[in-house]
Amino acid sequence: MKIIDFLKDNKPHISCELFPPKKWENLESAKAVVAETAALKPDYMSVTYGATGGTSKYTVDLVDVIENTHKIPALGHLTCVSSDRETVREMVSEYKKHGIQNILALRGDIPKDSGFEPSKDFHHSDDLMAEIKSMGDFCIAGACYPEGHPESRSLEEDLEYTKRKVEAGCDFLITQMFFDNNILYNYMYKLLKKGIDVPIDAGIMPVTNKTQIARIISLSGNLVPPRFKMIVDHFGDNPEAMKQAGIAYATEQIIDLFANGVNCVHIYTMNHPEVAGEIFKNLSFIAPRQ
C-alpha cells in the first residue's frame, strides 16, 4: 500500500522508524524488534539505510518482513551520497521485487573519512527522487528540517531546496526531530508560504538517556528548550526516571501536535519497542489502533 493514500485522511497517524543490524548474526534479533514494534500496529514502519550502503541487504530483509509478514506498509530508506546510478537502480529494483511501494529518498550524511568518494551521478536527494520516479510508480518521501539543515546557509535556502524535492516527485516529508513544537508550527507556516503543501510527518525522538541528547545536538544542531534541558539535568543520572520522563515528554509533544491539527507523527524508536509501546499506550484513546 502507498503511504500517501492514507496520510491525507485527516485521522491521527503514527509511524515507527527502525535501523538494521550491522552484522548478519544480529539479523534475527532485529527481526524480533520488528515483530514487537509491528504488534503496536503503527500506520507504517520505516527502516534506515547506511549512508554508504554497507547494510543495505539487512534494510531490505527488514522491510520485506514488515511488508510481507506483518502486512504493515513499509518505507525503505535509500541514500545516494556514495552510490552510482547502477547501484541505486539495483536497490530500487530490489525494493520493487519485494513489493515495497514506498521509498524515503535521501542524500545521506557525507562521511568524514578521507577516502570517501562522492557519487558522480547524484548530488542531492532531488536527483535520487527523479531517478526513482523514472523507475516506477513509487510513493516517495523526503527529509525536511524544521531548524534548517546544518549545511544550509539559512532556513530560507533550505526551504528553496525542499521545494525542489517536491517538484522532483516527493509525495510527503518527514521532519528531523525537534523538541519544541512551536519550531514545527513556524516551519509549517513557512512551508505553506513557499507553496509546499505535501503532508508533513512530524519526527519525534523519545530521549530516554542522557548520552543520547549530547549526540543529537552534535549531529543535528537541534535547539533544546530549557524545559527539556531541566528534565535531562535533573533525571539524567537516574536511568529509569530519565526513561519515564523522556516517554512523558514525547507523549506530550505528540498530544499537542494532534491537538493542533498535525495528524502524522513519526517516532524515531531507536529499536526500543518498549519505549514506543509506552507511548502508544499513552495515546490509546487519542490515536486508537485498529
- Give the residue carrying C-alpha cell 502524522: 264
Q: Least distance in Å: CB of 48 to ligand FAD?
A: 3
Tell me the C-alpha distance between 184 and 190, whole Å.
Answer: 10
Give the shortest CB-196-to-ligand FAD separation in angstroms: 13
> CB of 129: closest distance to ligand FAD in angstroms?
9
CA distance linking residue 244 with residue 171, whole number of Å = 35
Contact between 227 and 248 under an 8 Å Cβ cutoff? The reply is no
Binding stretches for ligand FAD (CB under 6 A):
48-49, 51, 77, 79, 106-109, 124-126, 143, 149, 151-152, 158, 161, 164, 174, 176, 203
In the complex with ligand FAD, the residue whose CB is nearer, 108 or 246, is 108
CB atoms within 10 A of CB 97: 10
Residues 17, 131, 147, 278: which is the catalytic one? Answer: 17
Q: What is the rounded CA–CA span in Å between residue 131 and residue 127?
A: 6
- Per the DSSP assignment, residues forming a β-bridge with 142 are 173
Question: Residue 163 or residue 244: which is nearer to ligand FAD going by CB?
Answer: 163
The answer to whether 143 and 106 have CB atoms below 8 angstroms apart is: yes
Which residue is listed with cell 536527483? 127
Q: Which stretch of DSSP H or E encloses residue 175?
A: strand 172-175
CB-nearer residue toward ligand FAD: 33 or 174: 174
CB of 167 to ligand FAD, least distance (A): 10
Per DSSP, the three-state class of 221 is: coil
Q: Is 86 labeled as catalytic in the residue annotation?
A: no
Please say which residue, 144 or 279, places its beta carbon nearer to ligand FAD.
Answer: 144
Catalytic residues: 17
